[in-house]
Amino acid sequence: MDTNPAQGSDEAQDILEALRKIQESDELRAEAAINPETVADRLGLSGIARHAVAFGIAGLLVGPVAMRPAGWWNG
């Protein structure tokens, strides 16, 4: 695998920018919940950035549900 620091930095910036756009847009969040592949296509992502954003989408959608406290005290 031949990567240089500039390429890695560009990919990281693409990932962060895509996740920010998804987080700020109700339309993109709703679409990501149904079909994350179309969101990745729409944002023009490929390779590592595409996989990282798919993982990030899962965190954005599942994270709030998983973080909700559960137990007898919520009763």
- CA distances in angstroms from 4 to 7, 46, 69, listed in the order given: 5, 17, 42
Cα dihedral 58, 63, 66, 68, rounded to 10, equals -150
Q: What is the pLDDT of residue 57?
A: 86
Q: What is the pLDDT of residues 5-47, one digit of tens each?
A: 666 678 999 999 999 999 899 999 999 989 888 999 999 999 9
Query: What whole-number distance in Å separates Cα of residue 66 and Cα of residue 75?
Result: 17
State the average pLDDT over residues 52-57. 90
Is 56's pLDDT higher than 80? yes
Domain limits, the chain = 8-67
Give the separation between CA 49 and CA 65, rounded to whole angstroms.
25
> Where residue 60 falls among pLDDT bands split at 50, 70, 90?
confident
pTM score of the predicted model: 0.69
